[in-house]
Amino acid sequence: MGLGCSTSSGPELKGRTIMGRVIAASGKPVGGVKVLLGKSIVESDEKGLYSLETDSKGGVVRFEKSGFLPGLERVQVEKNFSVGLDVVLLPQGPRLSVDVDKGGEALGPRGALVRIPKNSLVNPDGERVKGAVDVYLTPIDPKRSAELRAAPGDFVTEEDDRPRQLESFGMLDVTIMKNDEKLNVAKGETLEIKIPLPTGTKDPEEEMPLYSFDEERGIWVLEGAAQLSEEGDGYVGAVPHLSAWNVDRPYEATCVSGRVVDKDGNPVPGARVRGVGISYAGDSQTQTNAQGEFAIAVRQDSEVQIIAEHPLGGGRSREIETGDAETEVPPSVGDEGCVDEGEWVIEEGTYVDRGGETTVCSELGGQEILDGCMYEFVQRIGECGATFKGACVIRISEEGNSVIEYEDGSRMETNAEAGTTALYGAGGRFCYEVMIESEGAFYSYVFEDGTEYNMGADQSDEFILICPNGEQYKMSNDESAAISACTSGQPDTSDEEGGGDPVSCTIELPDTGAGGDGDDDPVEEDPADEDPADEDPDGTGGSSSSDDDPTERTPEGTTCTGDPDCTGADQICCPIVDGYSFCYTQANCDLVLGR
């Protein structure tokens, strides 16, 4: 999703530049991401920031890193202008295995499924593939804001040579690999997939149009139809090739227009403007021109939240009832069919929500946003004093338990069987214990005095904290929008003092007889090399019908110590270090690896 950057300050631009930040769905910056457009390529730094100079007038910008779905965003770049493009990347689904000599099915997160007929896959040269293949199923829920932002493209298709906007009712990326090669479906063959329904879906339709994503053009292409499954929990359809798939309905588009200015009335060029459906599941975006003007496509006769974001952080949001005039996609500035919202005054460093409440970006971490028991909870976490920085030692037992101890005495102890992680502050003082519920939806924090806080997400995907006295704190979508507007495009300064390369840790492994003799020198691990490959994004796990070897779920060359089958509830084989993996819940694995 884009964030525009003004060219009114700084050095004069003599070409076309795309710049922005790459973050994970969790909000953490992602470094080492390849950013490609045409022949131009750069990598994001450790703060997720990148700047790509290009001769291209536009196209599909591709963001690649192992373990993540590729980010794919369409962009147009004017000469001597800088375009901002912030992107959210989703971790790829866990690795599953199917023997194509026999055929079989793979069951992924949230009930996502693919059925593969025998001998139905080919390599890039068109040759039939034999034996076991790696299957990755990654559902994308349009009702979850982070996943909606990570969806490829901007929900545009073409109908009768005319662009149309789409409302999504569920997406699924299907990727199949063998020997580091991306496979595809053989000519004349089809695979059957099931796309999970979005969160909170009621009364789903029996049949929906089925679209695939064209990575070259950056649009969704109608391929047929999908039927509601017998269980009523997803849409089932036949697909002739591998890509991201989407069940959608085109909607009649109209537009909202306006002019973004600063407090002195000067235009703000390059500001990102987003349209987030309230009464529908859709997201569109554009940016202001040199005069600060914009026109954005939205659904007719609907409620929509329009957010204008300052290129240097801050912005303003409004809730708007759209009109019924049919307009082009994308709309043009000056289109008389647009609902004209007039001037939007935005200031760097402040965000005004749709209710008129103002947030000072520099105070986002203060009591102004984190009030009540949430503020108390954050204070207690902060009082712990656990920095988790500097040199450390990771000690791993044969049972898969671990202790990560840092030079200031702060440490993290994980009990794999109990599914708990205890954290200690500087000097070794106990702070709190975290237990992750089996489905990974809620975290339970128990402090040294026995008080307990429960944190997670509710059915509407809003953040919720349940405090010891029963009080509940929720972070609304407006507060989430404030955080997005205030932080978009800004460097992460949370670790300015440390800077430089990450500090490596010494790992002490048990004598297991599998992968090492226990007498080897300690292994040095670089935290920058963390890779979310084989993650289960939502903690629901996955399985495959023809997977006879349980270690196939682990990275190549590893085995799970103590319990190769990972028979514990909701456990996966967590790759602590190359060649050594242990049975943890997905959430505990993420916590231990610092994800």
Residue 395 forms part of a structural domain:
no
**pLDDT value of residue 585:** 57
Alpha-carbon distance values, 210 to 157, 238, 299, 474 (Å)? 12, 9, 20, 35
- Cβ atoms of 546 and 99 within 8 Å: the answer is yes
Distance CA 246, CA 244 (A): 7
Asked whether residue 362 is assigned to any structural domain, the reply reads no
Distances (CA, A) of 158 to 137, 161, 250, 337, 585: 26, 6, 10, 21, 43
Q: Are 166 and 226 in contact (CB under 8 A)?
A: no
The CATH number of the domain holding residue 158 is 2.60.220
Considering the domain architecture, whether residues 4 and 44 belong to the same structural domain is answered as: yes
Number of compact structural domains in the chain: 5
Which residues of the chain fall short of a pLDDT of 70?
1-15, 26, 364-372, 375, 382, 385-390, 398-400, 416-419, 436-443, 456-463, 475-477, 480, 483-484, 487-505, 509-595
Cis geometry, peptide bond prior to residue 537 (ω within 30 degrees of 0): no
141 and 185 in contact (C-beta within 8 Å)?
A: no
Give the global pTM.
0.59
- Domain termination residue (choose one: 40, 74, 90): 90
Same domain, 372 and 451: yes
Q: Kindly state whether residue 286 falls inside one of the protein's structural domains.
A: yes
The residue ranges of DSSP E strands in 240-334, in sequence order, are 244-251, 253-261, 272-277, 283-287, 293-299, 303-309, 315-321
Task: Confirm whether 576 is domain-assigned.
Answer: yes
Domain finish residue from 74, 90, 106: 90
pLDDT digits (tens, 9 = 90+) for 64-73: 999 899 999 9
Do 170 and 200 have their domain in common? Answer: yes
pLDDT tens digits, one per residue of 298-331: 999 999 999 998 877 789 999 999 999 988 888 8
In a domain, 510, yes or no: yes
Q: Are residues 524 and 576 in the same domain?
A: yes
Same domain, 245 and 104: yes
The verdict on 140 and 233 lying in the same domain is yes
Same-domain status, 332 and 212: no
Last residue of a domain, one of 192, 227, 249: 249
Q: What is the pLDDT of residue 240?
A: 97
The parent domain of residue 189 ranges over 95-249
